[in-house]
Amino acid sequence: MIRKALLVLFITSTLFTSSLYCQKTGPHQISRFADITAIEKEFTVGNVAARMVEGLGFRYYWATQGLKKEDLNYRPSESGRTTFETIQHIHGLSEFMLSFLRESSVEVSDLDDSEKVRSATLLNLERIEKKLTAMSAEDFENYRAGEVTFWQFINGPVSDAIWHSGQVVMMRRASVNPIAEGVNVLMGKKR
């Protein structure tokens, strides 16, 4: 009886804790990518792969920081995506990356709320980074999800998300709200 009660307590507390983690998307958590100057002490396959995602997270963080309604609605041409549609696409890419790594993504309660999409995307990128860092060299050797290999993971969704983050930067310049002054992508910090 005591074992069953302890087991129920353990499962309940685990579920409660994990649900709290999934629901918290405050600014203290999404600022993880505001500065990526901390570096790993070792060069491992996982650390290098994770660093690519950190670079994406840094660019995405600053590309989407402080966007106004006018910026989000900006569309460079009739056939092009708005800035917000591009941000939603990047979010979808982050979900694909997590799915590829057999991890669950952060749920977004309202896909039409730009701040919720931004927060969930940054949290997804943090999950991806942590997963990649934890993987061993052997994990990467023959890793695939269906027909998609790890090499395609890099040149597909990771590179595509970096590409689209650059588009967000370009569109916000065009809507007269450039990214914060002093963001240095080479150094991974804002002065």
Model confidence at 49: pLDDT above 60: yes
Looking at residue 143, what DSSP letter applies?
Answer: -
Q: What is the CATH number of the domain that holds 94?
A: 1.20.120.450
pLDDT digits (tens, 9 = 90+) for 53-73: 999 999 999 999 999 999 999
Q: DSSP states of 3-50 as a string?
A: HHHHHHHHHHHHHHHHHHHHH---HHHHGGGS------SS--HHHHHH
What range does the domain containing 186 cover? Answer: 2-190
Task: Note whether 175 and 74 are within 8 A (CB).
Answer: yes
Q: Which residues lie across from 149 on neighbouring strands? A: 144
pTM, whole model, 2 decimals? 0.84
The radius of gyration of the chain from alpha carbons, rounded to an integer in Å, stands at: 18
Q: Which two tokens stand for residue 2?
A: 């005591």
pLDDT digits (tens, 9 = 90+) for 108-131: 989 999 999 999 999 999 999 999
Burial class of residue 160, CB neighbours in 10 A (0-12, 13-18, 19+): middle
Domain count, the chain: 1
pLDDT band at residue 3 under the 50/70/90 scheme: very low
Q: Is the dihedral of CA 170, 172, 176, 180 positive or negative?
A: negative
Q: Calculate what percentage of the chain has a pLDDT beyond 90.
A: 81
